[in-house]
């Protein structure tokens, strides 16, 4: 039996809501297939406060072993590093204090969502609650736990980043841990599972034909590529959202909204609107990850010159108004 304790701290609970949308099979069916036992979850468990506090006491006394400690939401360190802005109900102790103790008892510690991984939305702006991730403060290694910390199983905090996380990013990672199939080499440079961060959001995007010809959307809801004018950073964002659609068919881009790179640290710390593309001399600041700027500019100019009228028309429309057809002047 692989025991999981799931706690929530400074966040909205969106990752749990997303997790419950796991389909074919459901989240509990997946857990059962990997012999995963969810000891406690704040939204799913029926245990009373007293029963929960006794569970924590038994864990600290080594009467109950936890294989994975999952945290959803950022660690609230304020005020003045006391953690008293978030006291775990019924215990008199800060969640920060509980996490410090429990991370030493679990074989693996898992940050579920960008808040738990890097601080996320909760740490945005002036960060009055002094929120941080478990092992990162934004892009800087070292949050609640120092940058060199390793779990009893020899792993850093496993950062399943996303806002919210795709349900399969969570279930796949936990099932890999339960089956002993996750290695350190399966984590990327930010300790995110490579199963989804070895891809770009751009991969599989339904707007890729518009991207190839730089046929750009002007307004939200237009069919065209949203990179040039509407802030999309899917060519830089590390995730498989368009390869592994949400609920079998959806993604932010399919819903008409640009990718905001929510799996990355400090995605929330923009100096401009999420739906605005910052430019210098008319060239977008954020260009594809692996392409030199000069090459992109040259290819973009050629692409725009060759853009079919069909794509130009459809790019700024809410629905397809010009379907594919036989090129004029050809057999």
Structural element, H or E, at residue 141: strand 140-141
Bridge-based pairing of strands 279-280 and 283-284 is antiparallel
* Region label for 158, one of left (φ > 0), alpha (ψ between -120 and 50) or beta (otherwise): beta
Q: Whole-prediction pTM value?
A: 0.92
pLDDT in tens, the chain (331 residues): 999 999 999 999 999 999 998 888 999 999 999 999 999 999 889 999 999 999 999 999 999 999 999 999 999 999 999 999 999 999 999 999 999 999 999 999 999 999 999 999 999 999 999 999 999 999 999 999 999 999 999 999 999 999 999 999 999 999 999 999 999 999 999 999 999 999 999 999 999 999 988 899 999 999 999 999 999 999 999 999 999 988 878 899 999 999 999 999 999 998 889 999 988 777 777 777 767 777 677 777 778 788 888 988 989 999 999 888 765 554 4
Q: What residue ranges in 46-123 does DSSP mark as E strands?
A: 68-72, 75-76, 108-112
- Cα 48 to Cα 71: distance, rounded to the nearest angstrom: 20
Question: What are the chain's domains?
Answer: 2-197 (3.40.50.700), 201-320 (4.10.480.10)
């Amino acid at each position: 039996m692989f025991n999981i304790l799931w706690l929530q701290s400074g966040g909205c609970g969106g990752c749990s809501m997303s997790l419950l949308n796991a389909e074919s099979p459901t989240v509990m069916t997946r857990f059962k297939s990997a012999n995963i036992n969810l000891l406690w979850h704040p939204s799913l468990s029926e245990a009373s406060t007293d029963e929960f506090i006794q569970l924590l006491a038994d864990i600290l006394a080594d009467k109950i072993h936890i294989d994975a400690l999952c945290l959803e939401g950022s660690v609230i360190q304020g005020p003045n590093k006391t953690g008293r802005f978030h006291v775990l109900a019924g215990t008199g102790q800060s969640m920060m204090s509980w996490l410090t103790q429990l991370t030493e008892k679990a074989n693996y510690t898992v940050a579920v969502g960008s808040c738990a991984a890097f601080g996320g939305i909760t740490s945005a702006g002036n960060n009055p609650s002094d929120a941080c991730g478990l092992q990162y403060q934004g892009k800087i290694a070292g949050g609640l736990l120092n940058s060199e910390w390793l779990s009893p199983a020899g792993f850093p905090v496993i950062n399943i980043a996303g806002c919210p996380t795709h349900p399969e990013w969570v279930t796949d990672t936990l099932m890999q841990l339960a089956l002993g199939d996750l290695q350190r080499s399966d984590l990327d440079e930010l300790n995110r599972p490579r199963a989804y961060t070895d891809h770009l959001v751009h991969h599989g995007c339904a707007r890729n034909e518009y991207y190839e010809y730089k046929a750009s959307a002007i307004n939200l809801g237009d069919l065209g590529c949203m990179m040039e004018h509407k802030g999309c950073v899917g060519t830089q964002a590390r995730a498989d959202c368009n390869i592994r659609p949400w609920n079998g068919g959806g993604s932010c881009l399919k819903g008409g909204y640009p990718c905001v790179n929510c799996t990355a640290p400090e995605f929330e710390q923009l100096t401009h609107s999420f739906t605005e593309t910052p430019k210098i001399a008319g060239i977008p600041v954020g260009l594809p990850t692996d392409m030199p700027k000069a090459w992109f500019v040259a290819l973009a100019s050629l692409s725009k010159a060759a853009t079919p009228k069909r794509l130009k028309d459809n790019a700024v429309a809410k629905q397809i108004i010009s379907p594919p057809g036989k090129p004029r002047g050809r057999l």
